[in-house]
Structure 1
Amino acid sequence: MDPVLVVQILGRLRVWRDGDEVDLGSQARRAVLGLLALTPDKPVRRHDLIDAMWGDDPPASAVNVLQTHVKHLRRTLEPGRPARAASVVLPSTGDGYRLHLAGGSVDVVRFRDLAAAAIRATANPSRAVELSGAALAQWHGRRVLSDVPLLTRLPAVTRLTDERRRLLAIHAELLINLGRAREVLTTLAEDADDHPLDESVHALLVRALAATGQRARAAETYRAMRDRLADELGVPPGVTLRSAYEQVGGAGPSRTPAAGATGPPGTRRAPVPRQLPAEVTDFAGRADELRQLDTAGPLILLCGTPGVGKTALAVCWAHRVRSRFPDGQLFVDLRGFDADRSVSAGDALALLLSMLGVPDGEIPTDPQHRMARFRSAVADRRLLILLDNAGSVEQIRPLLPGTASCTVVITSRAHLGGLAALHGARRVEINPLPVADAVGLLRRLIGDRVAAAPASAATLVEQCARLPLALRVAAELVVARPGRPLADLVAELADRQRRLDLLDLGDDPRAAVREVISWSYQRLPAVAATAFRRLGLLPAAVFDGHLLAVLTETKPANGHRLAGVLSQAHLVQATGDGRLTQHDLLRAYATELVHRIDTDDDRRATIGRLLDCYLAHARAATRLLYPSHVGQPADPCPTVGHPDGTATCTMADIATNIHAARTWLDSVRPALDGLGSAAVHHGFTAQAIGLALALQDYLTGGPHDGALAVQRHGLSAARAAGDRVAEATLLSNIGDIHRLLGQYGPAVEQHRRALAMHRTAGNDRGAARTLTRLGIVLERIGDHGAATRRHRQAVAVYRRLGDRTGEASALVNLANALSAGDRLDLAADALDRARDTFRDLDERVGEASALANLGEVLTRLGRYQLASTALNEALALFRRAGHRDGEATALSNLGTVNTHLGAFDTAVRQSRTALAIFQASGHQYGQASALNVLGSALLSMGSPAQARHHYAEALTIAQATGDTDEMARARAGIAMAQTSES
C-alpha cells in the first residue's frame, strides 16, 4: 500500500507520511516541494522550477542540482520504494515534475474547494459562514510557505494570500450581519495590523468593534487609520472607511492632509509600545508547544530546565501573534535567578508603566498604588506582556492585569505552582528538543556539515543534552573551526567534565552553560543543594526520592520532598514511572560541585551509604527472583540506615513482587559497573563482593558484556580482602559469563582455577557448582565424555550435601551432556527427575530450564507433540520470570518442533524472535543456534538461498566461539541448501 501523504503550505511547509511528520531537509529541497505543492497534480516545468529558485542568474549546474533535490525528496517521501521503481509521489512529466497525492491531501486544495462552496452559498448566510470558516481554518499562519523565504515573492504565493484576504472579508461581513462579529475580531485585527493602509479591512474592523459594543475602540481605530493615511499617503479616508465610521455614530470633519495638530495639546496618545526583543534566528522545532500557546488563554507559564529555550520560544510566539494585540507588546527581564540583579516587582511595575507612556514623575512610589496604577493603565486594553525569567510567584503576582483583555506570558525555571492554583495559569512544560528537531537546529546553525558527518552530529546533539543553548554554543565552536571535522569537537566533548568548560563562549555569561545552570543551583535551600551536588556521585542518571534521602542522611519522606524541590527547579526531570533523571550537563555540574565543596570524608561516607542501599535492594530482589542463589547471605537482608530510621531504603515491593524486583534490577543495570568501581576505589570490599555475588544469576540472563565488569570488580575486592572462597566463586562467575559470550577457552581456564581453589579450601558446595559450569563448557566444545563425568561428580556432591536444588540443576546439565552424546533416553530420564524436583521446590526458572531441555530431547526422539507441550510450558515460565535468554531458548526449540510439524511460518517467526533476543543480550551460542533453526525452517519451506545465508551466519559465529555442535549443524545446512539450489 502506498503511503498516505498530507502536505501543508498555508503557513509553514510541513509534510506527514502515514501520520508521522517528515523532515524535508534543506531550504532548497523544501523550496522544490513547495513549488510543486502550489499546484498539486499539475506538471511544473523544470525551467519554471529553476526560474523560481535562481531567478535570472541560475548556476550552470542548476539542472543537476534540481534533479538531486528531487531524488532526495523521493527517498524522503517514499522510503519503501525499490531503487529502480518509478516514483508515485513525484513522477517525472515531460520536462518537469508533478506532486501526486493519491490517498493524501494538500491544504491549498481543501481551502479553494471550501472557499468556492462558501461563495456559492452566500444566499444562505449561515451555511456560507460555516464553509468560509472551514476554508480559513486550513491556514496555519497568515503567509503561504512562511518558512521558505525563496518562494515568498512568487506570484502564485501572493495570489493565495490575496485569496485568503478576500475570503476573510466575505467571512467577516457574514458574521457581522449575523450578529456574531466577536468571532472574527482577532482575525480582522491581525489582518489590519499586517496591512496598515488597507481601508477595507479597517472598515470591517470598525464595524465589528462597534457591533460588539466597543464603540470607543471603533472610533479610536478609525481616527488612527485616518491619521495614518494623512501622514503616510497624504489622502483622507475613502468612502468605505467613512461610511463604516458614520454607521457606528461617528461625526465631525475628517482630518485633511494639511491639518496640523489632531486636537488640543496633550490629547495625542503615547506611541503604541513595541517592546519585544528580536526573534531568535534559526528558530527550530517546538511545533507542539506553539500549538499549546495558541490555545492557552490569558495567563501562560513556560517552565523548563536551564538552557532549554523558554525565552526563545516565548519571543518567537509573541512575534507570531503580536497583531492580535493592537495596543502593544511589553517585555521585562525579571532576572529572577540572578541573586545580585533580580528585578523587584515594584521596579518591574515602574518599567511597565514607563513603557505605557506614564511620565516618571507620575509613577507612584507606594507599591500598592503603583500596582493599582498599572492595572488601571492596562484595563480593557489588548496587550501582550512577556515577563521573562521569573523567580517566584511573589515577583509575578503584582504584575498581573486585573482584566482578561491582556495576555501575560511568563518564563521560569521554577514550577510557580501558585500561579496555576490561584490564578489559573496554563503551564506549558518545555523539554529538551526531540532528536529530529535538535539535529534540525544544528543543521540550520552549521549547514552542510551535519549532512557530511551525520553520526558525529547525532552524538553532538546528545552531548548537548538536546538543549538549544548548548547546541548554539557548540555551533559557534564549530563555525570558529572551519577547517576541522565535526568529529574533533565530538571527541573533545566526550569527557563529560570538560564539556562545561568547552560550552562557554567566554564573552557572555548567558552563553555559558555552567553559568546558566549555576543560577538555579544558587537559589536552592541548603539541603536541596547538598542533594543536587551529591547526585554527582551516582554512577547512573536514574534515581528516586529514597536515594536522595540516602545522599543527605535524612528520612525517606524528606527525600521525596527534596525530589519535589529539585523537580520544581528543573534540576531533575521525572521519567514518568516514579523515578527521576538528569541530563549529562546537569550531572557534570553536580559532579564538579561535589568535588569542589564536599570533603573527601563526606564523599566517601556518601558512597558507602549508596553502596549499602544498592546492595540491600539487590539482595532483596535476587532472593525473590532466584531463591536457590548461593551468593546470598544466610541471614535476612539488613535494613540500611541509622537506628533512628534515617536513610532507610524501603524494600517492601521488590522483596515481595516479582515484577517490581525485575524492574528495579533493570533500572540500576547501567549503574552496576560504576558502583563496583566506586566500591573498589574507596575500599568498600564487602559491598563490591556482595554486589557481584548477589547479581550473578540476574546478570547471566543477559546482556552479558557489562556483567564481566561487575564480577571483575568483585574479584579485585576479594583479592584485596584475602577472601579465597569469594575469589574462587567470582572466578567461576567470570568463567560462566565467558561461556555465555562464546569465549570457551577463557571459560575453561577460569573454572579450573576456581575448582582447585574450592577444593583446597574444602568448599564442597562451591566445588559442585564449578563442576557443573565446567561440564557445560566441555559439552559446548564437543568433549561429551568429560562433560558427563563432571556433571555426575556434581550430582553426587549435591546429593551428599542434601542440596536438592543443586542436584536438580546438575541433573539438567547432565542431561544436556548425555543428549549431546546421543544417549537420549538417559537424558530424558534425568530431565524428568530435575523437573519434578524443581516443581516440588516451587522454583520456576529451574523448572522452565528442565522443560526446555526436555522439549529438545523429545524433539530428537521424534515425539513432537510432547515436545511442543513441554516447550510452551517452559516459555510461559521464562516469560513470567522475565528470563529473556530462557525465553529465547524455548522459542528457538519451538522453531525446531514446528519445522518438523510443517508449521514453517510459525517456526520462522519464533526463530527470528529468539535470534533478536540473543542478539540483544550478546549470547553468541544462542545466536548460532537460532540461526541454524531459522535456516532449517526456511529450507523446509522452499527458500534455500535465504536458508544458506542464515546457515553461513551461524557458521561464522560458531567458528568464532569454538562451538563444534553448531558448526556441524551449520555446515550440514549449507550443503543441503546448495543441493536444493542446484
Structure 2
Amino acid sequence: MKLLLLGPLELRVAGTGMDLGQPRRQAVLAALAADTGRPVTLETLVDRVWDGDPPDAARSVVYSHISRLRRLLDEAAVREGGGAAARPPIRLGKISGGYLLEADDDAVDLARFRSLVARGREPLYPDAERAGHLEEALRLWRGAPLPGLSGAWAERMRTAWNQERIEAAVAWAQTCLRQGGPERVPELLRPLLADHPLSEQLAAVLMRSLAAVGSTTDALHVYTRIRRQLADELDLPPGPELRSAYEELPSGTAARKRQAPPPRAVPAPAQLPMDVSNFTGRDVQLADLTRALIPGAGANGATAAVVSAVSGTAGVGKTALAVHWAHRSRDAFPDGQLYVDLRGYDPQRPVSAAQALTGFLTALGVLRQEIPLRLEDRAARYRTALDGRRLLVVLDNAASAAQVRHLLPGSPDCRTLITSRDSLGALVSVNGAHRVVLDALSGTDSLALLRALIGERIDAERSAAADLADQCARLPLALRVAAELVLSRPAEPLARLVAELHDHQRRLDLLDSGDDPRAAVRAVFSWSYARLAELPARLFRLLGLYPGPDTDAHAAAALAGESVEAVRRALDLLARAHLLNRTAAGRYGMHDLLRVYAAELAAGHDPAAEREAALTRLLDHCLAASAAAMDVLYPAERHLRPAVERTGTGLPPLRTADEARAWLAAAQSTLVALCSRTEEPGPSGHTVRIATTLHRHYERSGHYTDALTVHTHALRAARSVGDVRGEADVLVCLGAVHRRLGDYDSAQQLHDTALALCRRIGYAAGEARHLTNVGVLHELRGRYREAAEQHERAVALFRSVGDAPGEADVLNNLGIVLELLEDFEASVERYERALELYRAVDHPLGEASALGNLGILVARLGDHAAAARHFERALTLFRRLANAAGTGHALSNLGNALSGLGRHEEAAGHQREALDLFRRIGERYGETGALNGLGEALHGLGRAAEALAAHAEALEIAREIDEQEEQARAHVGAAAVLRDGEPEEADARLREALDLYTALGSPRAEEVRGMLDAG
C-alpha cells in the first residue's frame, strides 16, 4: 500500500489506485499525511481544510471524513493481502485532541523522499552513493503536488515541497558534476526548470551540465530564456550564481562550431541562394566580414547585434560577396540562415518589411495564423522567435535604413548582413553597423575571373583580355555577361570581339557621364542583347515589365503571347547568356539592373499598346490559372467565383490538389504584386476577380495575412473605378477573414457597408451573402433570434435569384440557429432540405457540413450513436476534401458524441486531434470548443484536475473572442467537476452560466436553473 502526495493525491494498492472520494475528503487525508508520524489537532485539520473560514458543521464533516478514511485504509490493507492480525502499512489513529497518521518507512512518498534526501546530503557517504539516493528521491515525483486541492494551505505545501525538490535536484546535479557524470543531468533538470522557469539555481546547474557535455549553445539558450523572464516578470537582472554560470561558458569560434542547434519542431532555416560559381577575389572584404560578424574573430564580440552593410554600385558583386561569405561561414551560425531579396531598387515592387517578416516567421516555424497583422507586432514576434538563436540574417538589395529597421534581430547571438547601393549611414551611426564598401575588381582579379569563366584563351590573348576587363569596368556582372558572349563565338579571336565591343560602346547613346560604371554594364548588356534572335529579345524586354520576383514558362508565354515550348527555349537561352537566372525548378528571375535595362528597352522598342496588351495577357493567365487551381481544390464552389475564360497560351499542369497548391504557393508573390498595381486603372477589374477567386483558398488554408493584403488592394481597385458590385464582393471576403481572426466588430462593419451598397444597386445575391455572414456573427455572439432573422431573409433572396447552393448554405446556418433556440423540428427540416440541395448540385463540402450539424442536433436529443454515425460520414468527406477546419469540427463533434456514449478515452483522443488542428490553422472558436469537449471527456475519465484546466483555458479563449456560448459551456463543465467536492464553487459557476445563457436568450438557461435548484 502506498500513499502518494508528490503529484496527484493517490492511494495505491498492488499498483492500482483506489477512489478517495470527494475533494474535501482528499484534503483531510493530505492534511494528515503532510505530518505523517506527528499528531495533528482537530483545530489544525479544520484550518487546513477550510483556510481559516470553516462552516458551522466543520467538526462534524471532519469526523465523517475520518470515519470513511479509516474504512478505506482497512479495505486497502485487506486487498493488499494482510490478515486480520497483520499490521496495516498505513494507519489512522485517534489521539487526545486530534489524529495521527502512521506509516511504514516506504508507504508515504513524501516521507520516503525526505529520508532519501537526508541520506543524499550525508557527507560521510561517497559521491556516487549520495547521487544515487538523491536521484531515487527525485524520481518519486510525478508532477505538481496536490493539483486537485485548492486553498492557502495546499498552496503553501506545494511551494514548500517544490522548493525541497529544487534543492535536492541542485544537490544531485552538483554531485554528478563533481564525479564526472554530467550527461544524465539534463534529462531530470529540463522538465523541472520548465515547471519552475524563474529558479536561478536550477538554470545555473543545468547550464554547467550542458557545457560539460559540449552543448554550449543549449546552455546559452537556457541563460537567454531565464534572463528574459526575470526581466519581464520580476524586473530583475540575473543573480550572481547565474551570471557566474554564464561567464564560465566556453567562447570563441572553435567552441561554437562544435555546438548543435537546439532541438526545435522545425528544421533550421537554410534560405541562402546557391553560391556563386567561380567566385574570384575579394579576400580583403571576406576577411573584414569575418572579423565583423563572427564573435571571437574580431573586436565586435557578442555584446550587441552587429549589422554589416556591403555597399557599392549596381553590378559590383554585392550579392555575390554576401552569399559567398554566408556559405563559407555557415558553421558559425548553427541555428540557420535567413535570406530575402528586398528588391529595394525596383521602383514599383520593393519587398516591404511586413512581407519579409511573414517569410522569416514562417521559416522559423511560426504558423501563418499566428503571425500578427500589425507591422510592429510582427517585428516583435520575429525578435522573440530569434531570441537565443545563433543565426545569420541576409538582407539583400536594401534601399534604405528604413526598409530594414524592423528586420534587425534583437538578440546578441544573431548577425545581420545587408547589401545596398546606399551607404546606410543611419545604421552605422544608430545601430553600430560595420560598413564594407565594395569597388570594382582589381585588374588581376578581373583577369582571374575571366580565366575561370572563359579558360586558357585568356592566357594566349592577355592584352585583349585586359582591354575587355576595362571595357566591362571590371564589374563582375558585366564580366560574366561578356564572357558568355565570348564563349558563344569560339572561333573568333578575342581581340576582334573586344574591338567590336569597343565600337559598340562608342556608338551607343548611354547615360550622361562616361565615368558612370553603369554605362559600361549597359554597354555589355546591349552587346549581348543585340545578338539575340527576335523572340528571346522581345521576351527579355517584356520580362522587364513582369511584376513578380520570378516566372515560369507558362506565365512568360502569356506575357509574350507565344507558345510555351518556344518561350521555354527562349528562357533557357537567356539563362545561358546570364540575362536571366534560374531561381527554382522551372522558374526564372532577373537581376534588378537587368530588369531596369529590359524595361527601358521595352519602353523604347515596344509601343505602349503592346506593353499594355502583354500585361493584360499576363493578368488573364494568372486569373485563369487561379480559377483552375480553385476548381481542383473547391469544385463545388464554382458558382461563388467570377466566370473566367481560358487563355490561348495554356495553363501549367493543375490536375491534382497537390499541383494546385504547389502553383498557388509558387505564384503567390506574383499574385500579390499584380493585385498591388491598384494605382493603375488597367488591372483593377482583374485585381477584384483574382481576389474573389482566391478568397476560399486564403480563408481555408489559413493564409490570413496574405488574404488581407490581396483583398485590401482589391477593395481599393474596385473603388478606384467605381465597381460597386466588385466592392461588395470583396467586402464579403474581407469580412469573412476578420471573422476567422476573431475580430467580429470589424467584420460587422464591413458587412454593414456592403449591405448598403447591395441594396443601392439591387444586387440580391450579394445582399444575401452578406446577410448570412451577419447571421453567423450574431450566432457567434449568442444573438440567436437576430441570427435567425438574417438567415431567413438570405434564404428568400437566394431562392428569388435561383441560387440553390447559396440557399443550401443559408439553410444549413439557419438550422444551427434554430437548434440553439430549441426549435428542433424546424432545425431538422432546414438541415434535411440543405442536404437535398447539396446532393442535387454535387456539393460534398456542403453535404459534410449539413451532416455535422444534423449530428449535433441528434446528439442533443440524446441519440449519441446516431450522432456519431453522422459525424463519421462528415469526417470522411472533410478529410477527402483536405478541409482542415471542417475536419477539426467533425473530430470535436465526434468526440462529444463518444463522451455521450461513455467512450471517454476515444473522445479525449478525438478532441486532442481537433485541438491540434485548430491551433495549427488559428481558428480560436474551434479551439475553445475542443477544449471544452476535452474537459468533459477528462471528467468522464475521473481526471478532475486536467478537466478543470481544459475548461479554464476554454473559458479564457472564449472571453478573448467574446464567444458567450462556449463561456457558458466552460462554466457548466467546471461545475460538473466541482460538484462533489466544492459545491459552493460549483453553484457559483452555474450562476455564471445562467447569466450568460439568460443574456443570450438561450433556452439552456432553464436547464442550468434546474441544475441549481436540484443542488
TM-score, length of structure 2 as denominator length:
0.48
